[in-house]
Amino acid sequence: MSGEHDGDETGDTPSNSGQQFDRLPATADEREVPGRATREEVVGWWEERFGISPETFDEFTFWEKGKGKIWAFGGDTVDPIRIEGLGMAFLRTRQEHWKPTTNAVQRFGRDATKNVVELSGEAATRFAAGEDQEVEWDGDWGYLLVAHELVGEREPMGVGLYLHGELRSTVPKGRQESLPVLD
Amino acid sequence: MNPLERYAPLVDDEEAFFAACERPLPSVVRVNTIKTTPERAREALDEEDVGYEPAGWHDEILKLDGRSPGTTWPYFHGWLHGQEEVSALPALAVDPQPGEFVWDACAAPGSKTTQLAAQMDDTGLLVGNDNNLGRLSALRHNAERLGVTNLAVTNQDARNFSLKPFGSDQFGGYRYDGSDSDGDDEPDEAAREAFDRALVDAPCSCEGTVRKNPDVLDQWTLDHVHSVAGIQKGVLRRAIQATKPGGTVVYSTCTFAPEENEAILTHALEEEDCRMVEFDSPLDTVSGVTEWEGEEYHPDVTKAHRVYPHHNDTGGFFCAKLEVTA
Ligand SMILES: C[S@@+](CC[C@H](N)C(=O)[O-])C[C@H]1O[C@@H](n2cnc3c(N)ncnc32)[C@H](O)[C@@H]1O
């Protein structure tokens, strides 16, 4: 850590470092690394996409490590920080359509009010197993929050990509399970 | 020879001890309170007709009938984590509080790390360290599935762990140089100097896991016991050095070998500023031993807990709590 600034002077990616976590700038005015998402944009995205209120994230700090990969950390620490992991991989940015992680949606998605597809019975089981399926949906296309009911409450399962009448499960291999059909 | 024979003089009921070591372990899960409550987790298991029995001493620990927890909905949602009953002890001894700075020195694959995170209400800063990069990815996977967000993952040899990444100027590091996002030269106010608490769940000869993995006995050698003891001493000493005065350090293993337990504590008590403290174990245990094969240990090691498989129908375990005195 010898006077480097935001990792933009090291490595072959001039804009961002895969070696360290850099805290997101609060707003676009404070942005130094081109293309880096701001805290305002990240929190705003969850509100805009899923209706999740910005206060949900008041105690969290957001960091970028690796191109476009945003991490949510439930506290604060020095910036930049060179370690292996910080909080939870949360959101993929630096691409046209931002994509939340399965774990982030499971952790923060309970209060979502829009772009939520509810599945039940066999459809929920298929989603958790990583299968694609046709669904009835007349809302937005793109990344949707997919939920089902568990002990009387809606519980988010993960992220689905909805295109042309089909809902693709993006549950990563290591999180896919073959689960019983609930009635 | 079955290496467990060497512990016959230490156990109260040899026959029950050897019989328990032969039996497979029950399937046990811990409820992850970061994502749900024990009540809702039980209801979710009921919905799937999965039988369970709460572990009496703790409402977050459930013994399942048969079925592997992975194939249930509450597991998929990160409400449950498969964790041996006795392995819940060390985090209870650490007793971390919300907002604290806590070190899990040998953390992968993270059963105890994620339990510590839940005890901290997923706040403060929990550092999960392991020197094995492959095992670290399992730690990250488990922590993320359980929704843990207060965890920093590091890949260092715990024997000379440096707090430098966290902005500490101690232990051979230097204070963070101030190249933070606000660009001033002040030390970062988020810098942390020393841990409030640490857990050393040390690599060991693992005899206590014989019920899960009978192969450990075939691989057992006294040479391995001695070499791993060197690592244990180094990691425990570092944990004491890196924890602030008045802070807590917990040492645990899943072995019965006094060379890896009481001997390690004795070494730490002689070399570092610390003392043994008593703590209550919710499981039936016996005291640490002060003599073994001609060696004498520090008298205070009796405050440590030995858990034998036949006492609570669990794996074997050892757990001790220390307070840092200077
Ligand atoms: C008993 S296991 C830890 C289990 C873990 N605490 C849990 O509850 O899931 C011991 C760990 O220590 C790690 N280890 C061994 N030597 C180490 C060292 N010198 N520094 C850091 N970690 C080490 C091993 O890779 C292994 O993951």
pLDDT digit string, tens, across residues A124-181: 999 999 999 999 999 999 999 999 999 999 999 999 999 999 999 999 999 999 999 9
Q: What is the homologous superfamily of the domain B26-83 according to CATH?
A: Sun protein; domain 3 (3.30.70.1170)
Q: Which of B74, B77, B155 sits opposite A84 (nearest CB)?
A: B155
E strands, B240-316, where?
243-253, 274-277, 286-287, 291-292, 295-296, 305-307
- The whole-angstrom separation of Cα B324 and Cα B246 is 5
For the entire predicted model, the pTM comes to 0.94
**Does residue A78 belong to the interface with chain B, where contact is any CB pair within 8 Å?**
yes
User: Using a CB-CB distance cutoff of 8 angstroms, which residues of chain A are in contact with residue B133?
Assistant: 84
Residue B170 has a pLDDT of: 55
Residue B192 has a pLDDT of: 86
Question: Shortest CA distance to B30 belongs to which of B125, B100, B110?
Answer: B110
Indicate the annotated binding residues of B. 106-112, 130, 157, 201
User: Using a CB-CB distance cutoff of 8 angstroms, which residues of chain B are in contact with residue A60?
Assistant: 149
Residue B14 to residues B10, B23, B52, B310, Cα–Cα distance (Å): 9, 15, 30, 9
Residue A2 has a pLDDT of: 35
- The SS3 call for residue B197 is strand
Q: At what angle do helices B222-241 and B262-271 cross, to 10 degrees?
A: 40
**Is the Cβ–Cβ distance between B111 and B139 less than 8 Å?**
no
Question: Shortest CA distance to A39 belongs to which of B181, B127, B148, B121?
Answer: B181
Residue B10 has a pLDDT of: 95
Mean pLDDT of the A88-117 span: 98
- The whole-angstrom separation of Cα A28 and Cα A41 is 9
pLDDT in tens, chain B (326 residues): 789 999 999 999 999 999 999 998 989 999 999 999 999 999 999 999 999 999 988 999 999 987 678 789 999 999 999 999 999 999 999 999 999 999 999 999 999 999 999 999 999 999 999 999 999 999 999 999 999 999 999 999 999 999 999 988 654 333 334 444 444 445 566 788 899 999 999 999 998 899 988 889 999 999 999 999 999 999 999 999 999 999 999 999 999 999 999 999 999 999 999 999 999 999 999 999 999 999 999 999 999 999 999 999 999 999 999 999 99
- In chain B, where are the structural domains located? 3-25+84-324, 26-83
Q: What is the homologous superfamily of the domain B3-25+84-324 according to CATH?
A: Vaccinia Virus protein VP39 (3.40.50.150)
**Is the Cβ–Cβ distance between B102 and B192 less than 8 Å?**
no
For residue A96, pLDDT over 60 is answered with yes
- The whole-angstrom separation of Cα B248 and Cα B101 is 11
- In chain A, where are the structural domains located? 6-109, 115-175
Q: Which of B153, B167, B183 sits opposite A85 (nearest CB)?
A: B153
Residue B176 has a pLDDT of: 38
CB of B300 sitting under 6 A from ligand 1? no
Phi, psi of A7 (to 5 degrees): 75, 5
Of all residues in chain A, the one with the smallest CA distance to B132 is: A84
* pLDDT 10s digits, A19-32: 899 999 999 999 99
CB of B21 sitting under 6 A from ligand 1? no
- Give the number of residues written for chain A: 183
Contact (CB<8Å) B123/A74: yes
Residue B68 has a pLDDT of: 78
What is the rounded end-to-end Cα distance, in angstroms, of chain B?
45
Residue A41 has a pLDDT of: 98
Phi, psi of B278 (to 5 degrees): -80, 150
Contact (CB<8Å) B154/A157: no
CATH code matching the domain that covers A115-175, chosen among 1.10.357.10, 3.40.1500.10, 1.10.1660.10, 2.30.130.60: 2.30.130.60
Contact (CB<8Å) B72/A84: no
